[in-house]
Chains A and B, each alone.
Chain A
Amino acid sequence: MSSRRLAWAAMGLVLVVALGVGARGKSGPLTEDQRVHRVASVIRCPTCRGLSAAQSDAPAAEAIRDEIRRRVQDGQTDGQIEDYLVSRYGDDILLDPRANGVGLLVWALPLLGGAAAVAGLVFVVRRNRVRPGRRRVTAADQALVEEALHG
């Protein structure tokens, strides 16, 4: 292994270890506040525009947070709480549309589009690489060069 590669491999190792340690996060189960925040951040504040129930200080958002907290204390899962809120307020209470029915499109289209774009990119680069020097030098071109050099 050349010293050049060694330098990059060492860096990669340091980076992976550091990210590994950093990504593990603080251990232990989530606290009640953290769970309330996690659910509330995907719930729309019914009286605001574009804010989640976790972000807004509006009374309606506070009421939703209180409801979530009650249900967290009752031992419900995040999914159960979301189901309850959807049944009460309708599908549009979720800021993250569910990936079923029409809502599937909003998740699938970017992924399909992204895959198509990457495939297209690879295709373009490949196509150009397999045909290097596809342009033949014509006599007219050579004449032009001659003229430029000696004319």
Chain B
Amino acid sequence: MSAVLGTAGVTLGLVASILGMITLALGLRRKNPGLLRAGQRYTWLVLAGGVVATIAMQYALLSHDFSLKYVADNGSRSTPLLYTVTTMWSALEGSILLWALVLSGYLAVMARHFRDRVTDPIVAWATLVALTVAAFFFGLMAGPANPFRLISGTIPTDGPGPNPLLQNHPLVAFHPPMLYLGYVGFTIPFAFALAALITGRVGEGWLVETRRWTLFAWGFLTVGIVLGAWWSYAVLGWGGYWAWDPVENASFLPWLTATAYVHSVMVQERRGMLRVWNLSLLVATFSLTILGTFLTRSGVLDSVHAFTESAVGPAILGFFALVVAVSIALIGWRGDLLRSPGSIDAPVSREGAFLANNVAFAAFAFVVLLGTVFPLLAEAVNGDQLSVGSPYFNKMTAPIGFTLLFLMAVAPALPWRKAAAETLHHRLLWPAWAGTLTVVACVLGGLRGLGPLLAFGLAAFAGAAAVRQLVLSTRAALRSGQPVWKGVLGRANGGMVVHIGVVVLAVGFAASSAYGHKAQFRLAPGQSARLAGHRVTYLGTSTVVHSNKTTTAARVRVDGGKVYEPALNQFPFGSQAIGTPSVKTGPLSDVYLTLVVTPDEQGVAVIGVNVQPLIAWLWTGGAIMGFGTFLAAWPGGRRRRRVKAAAPERTTGAQDAAVPEPAVAR
């Protein structure tokens, strides 16, 4: 029953995508508004297909319909309700279904948003491109990654349940959907970028249309990545949150190029420059989401040769190649239209800083991409077995990270076109002192190490620069009789809030990487151990049998206060015991406890203890970044002021209205 319904949903999505593409193509060819209108309507059918397929999958999971191969492989009667629901994205086929659902949702929102302009060729082309992407993902489900394939042979009465790591923490309900909202969201700006190239309308109009879409996708991706790090910290039990694992890198790569884009797009809006570059960044971001899916979903990471075992890997890789080839061909074809009218007058200017920012982000993305795929390439080319891991990434990306922090401090203070020394002195002196004094205070406080000290100093510099901008914009809002909160709305001000989030996150990252302590202690009940000023006392263990697992939990008192219970879980179908860390979290440091070895005959257990400073700053920073993105995407500000003042956009940017620039800046 659910198989029939699900297959119907997938087929509906696929057929509606293809029919929509054909209708739009015909409409564009014959310049027929009726056909264009009809073509747009197919997006609703695609959405219906995605929703029906998802309902079918959820129904199959919840009703334990083991006649479906996906449910038989990944579901189980003993899995708690929450993790039964999340089983949908615990394996390949279901993840593709989630992707298709999110994409069909974005498509429908896009169709609704542009409903008054359906006959505009640029909208029609963008819809056509987005429908092509949808056709690919529904096609994957209709073919090699069919989530509704029936089991061959006898239907089992129970299944193994999802991967034990994916039924151990509620974050699994939030991290993947957030990540996918980010990944898939970049389809819309990508579609408009291609549409702009195809129609030849490569001016700034399409950018303005897709600005907010990009911001939202970026915000979701940011929050998704931070939630992923948090999940990793809370579940994996090694005490860290980021291992430069290929799966993590796959989510980080599009983030890097998208971050470069949200900055450089301002140069194009303002000065009309960097058109080819911005298009390339959008294409790169979208391509990297597809490449990431290939890396994480094809099995290529387990072995270079494994991915051809199923047709999914080659299909995704082929689609990736198609996207890259078509985009490069289009950019080449429209090359003459893309020549930018403006030029950079001085390196020390806002646009100069954005350019440097983009070079840094591009270099960052290049290093991460190279390090991620290098072992695969080396093995594929001449059979060499190599690893590229965290020491490589840390070494190569640290200088880029410092550069970015520095730019983040300086760039908001730089005026467009050209900066006078007087301006820089006036705007940067106090933020720079904040950075310097932070370094002095850290050194006096006994902190050592060039890396972390530089990070703290630059972070304070950048944080002070962002706070300065916000104070100025808030004051300007008050002066013009607006409420205080207007001072943090809009892209420039929301952007500064995001910067503060980055600063908080960077401080947490630097501190926890540099000043962590890690040890394992063999303790009998009643014994204590000390690490980095914290005392842990082992009290004993208890074993609880749950429906889906057997849990052995140690009771550990931290600093004579609350008792924490790190545990080891034995799942019926999993061979290896899965740990559940327990964390005493605080604003200044985390005490992270794991049960490494269950008690022996004498009752001696091995307890792992990680003490790391400022871990909570990572999650806080991520939350601030998400909130800042929301403020930046807030409608109004720019637009409303433009209507009121009826002045051209170029001179009414929120930034200029908020920060009076001296005459030298012009």
Binding site for B on A (CB under 8 A): 4, 7-8, 11, 14-15, 18-19, 21-26, 41-42, 44, 49-52, 55-57, 90-97, 101-103, 105-106, 109-110, 113-114, 117-118, 121, 124-125, 128-129, 132
Q: Would A125 and B238 count as touching, CB distance under 8 A?
A: no
A-B contact pairs, 30 of them (CB 8 A): A7-B429, A11-B436, A14-B440, A15-B457, A18-B443, A19-B439, A19-B450, A22-B442, A24-B448, A49-B245, A50-B245, A50-B246, A50-B389, A51-B238, A56-B238, A57-B237, A57-B520, A57-B596, A95-B388, A96-B395, A101-B384, A102-B378, A103-B386, A106-B371, A106-B392, A109-B370, A110-B366, A113-B363, A121-B355, A121-B359
Residues of A within 8 A of B343 (CB): 128
C-alpha spacing A7/B430, complex, angstroms: 11
Q: Would B385 and A91 count as touching, CB distance under 8 A?
A: yes
Q: Would B386 and A92 count as touching, CB distance under 8 A?
A: yes
Residues of B within 8 A of A128 (CB): 343-345
Determine whether B243 belongs to the interface, using a CB cutoff of 8 Å to chain A: yes
Q: Would B387 and A117 count as touching, CB distance under 8 A?
A: no
Determine whether B38 belongs to the interface, using a CB cutoff of 8 Å to chain A: no
Q: Would B347 and A95 count as touching, CB distance under 8 A?
A: no
Q: Would B385 and A117 count as touching, CB distance under 8 A?
A: no
Q: Would B433 and A44 count as touching, CB distance under 8 A?
A: no
Residues of A within 8 A of B439 (CB): 15, 18-19, 22
C-alpha spacing A19/B240, complex, angstroms: 27
With A22-B450, A92-B386, A92-B387 known as contacts, the answer to whether A118 contacts B374 (CB < 8 A) is no
Residues of B within 8 A of A8 (CB): 425, 429, 432
With A15-B439, A23-B449, A110-B367 known as contacts, the answer to whether A93 contacts B387 (CB < 8 A) is yes
With A110-B370, A129-B346 known as contacts, the answer to whether A102 contacts B391 (CB < 8 A) is no
Instruction: Output the nearest chain B residue to A106 by Cβ-Cβ distance.
Output: B374
- Residues facing A in B378-407 (CB within 8 A) are 378, 381-382, 384-392, 395-396
With A18-B436, A21-B443, A106-B370 known as contacts, the answer to whether A55 contacts B244 (CB < 8 A) is no
Q: Would B387 and A55 count as touching, CB distance under 8 A?
A: no
Give chain A nearest CB distance to B597 CB in angstroms. Answer: 9
Residues of A within 8 A of B237 (CB): 57
Q: Would B352 and A95 count as touching, CB distance under 8 A?
A: no
Give chain A nearest CB distance to B454 CB in angstroms. Answer: 7
C-alpha spacing A18/B396, complex, angstroms: 25
Determine whether B362 belongs to the interface, using a CB cutoff of 8 Å to chain A: yes
Q: Would B396 and A102 count as touching, CB distance under 8 A?
A: no
Residues of B within 8 A of A22 (CB): 439, 442-443, 447-450, 453
Residues of B within 8 A of A95 (CB): 387-392
**Interface extent on B, as a size class?**
35 or more
Instruction: Output the nearest chain A residue to B447 by Cβ-Cβ distance.
Output: A22
Q: Would A57 and B608 count as touching, CB distance under 8 A?
A: yes
C-alpha spacing A121/B277, complex, angstroms: 13
Residues of B within 8 A of A11 (CB): 432-433, 436
C-alpha spacing A118/B375, complex, angstroms: 27
Give chain B nearest CB distance to A106 CB in angstroms. Answer: 5
Instruction: Output the nearest chain A residue to B596 by Cβ-Cβ distance.
Output: A57
Cβ-neighbour of B363 out of A51, A91, A102, A117 (below 8 A): A117
Determine whether B594 belongs to the interface, using a CB cutoff of 8 Å to chain A: yes
Residues of A within 8 A of B367 (CB): 110
Determine whether B27 belongs to the interface, using a CB cutoff of 8 Å to chain A: no
Give chain B nearest CB distance to A92 CB in angstroms. Answer: 4
Q: Would B381 and A102 count as touching, CB distance under 8 A?
A: yes
Q: Would A23 and B450 count as touching, CB distance under 8 A?
A: yes
Q: Would A113 and B366 count as touching, CB distance under 8 A?
A: yes
Determine whether B94 belongs to the interface, using a CB cutoff of 8 Å to chain A: no
The digit string for B589-618, where 1 denotes a CB below 8 A from any CB of A, is: 000001010000000000010000000000
Determine whether B239 belongs to the interface, using a CB cutoff of 8 Å to chain A: yes
Residues of A within 8 A of B442 (CB): 22
Contacts A41-B390, A125-B344, A129-B346 known; list 8 others, CB within 8 Å. A11-B436, A57-B520, A96-B391, A96-B392, A97-B388, A102-B384, A117-B363, A118-B359
Q: Would B385 and A26 count as touching, CB distance under 8 A?
A: no
C-alpha spacing A107/B390, complex, angstroms: 14
Determine whether B317 belongs to the interface, using a CB cutoff of 8 Å to chain A: no
Determine whether B477 belongs to the interface, using a CB cutoff of 8 Å to chain A: no
Cβ-neighbour of A44 out of B381, B387, B396, B436 (below 8 A): B387
Determine whether B356 belongs to the interface, using a CB cutoff of 8 Å to chain A: yes
Residues of A within 8 A of B246 (CB): 50
Give chain B nearest CB distance to A19 CB in angstroms. Answer: 6
Instruction: Output the nearest chain A residue to B343 by Cβ-Cβ distance.
Output: A128
The digit string for B400-422, where 1 denotes a CB below 8 A from any CB of A, is: 00000000000000000000011
Give chain B nearest CB distance to A9 CB in angstroms. Answer: 12
Cβ-neighbour of A117 out of B362, B374, B422, B608 (below 8 A): B362
Residues of A within 8 A of B240 (CB): 55
C-alpha spacing A4/B370, complex, angstroms: 44
Q: Would A125 and B352 count as touching, CB distance under 8 A?
A: yes
Give chain A nearest CB distance to B7 CB in angstroms. Answer: 34
Give chain A nearest CB distance to B605 CB in angstroms. Answer: 13
C-alpha spacing A103/B385, complex, angstroms: 10
C-alpha spacing A18/B370, complex, angstroms: 36
Q: Would A102 and B243 count as touching, CB distance under 8 A?
A: no
With A21-B443, A57-B520, A113-B363 known as contacts, the answer to whether A92 contacts B429 (CB < 8 A) is no
Q: Would A102 and B386 count as touching, CB distance under 8 A?
A: yes
- Residues facing A in B107-143 (CB within 8 A) are none
C-alpha spacing A124/B371, complex, angstroms: 29
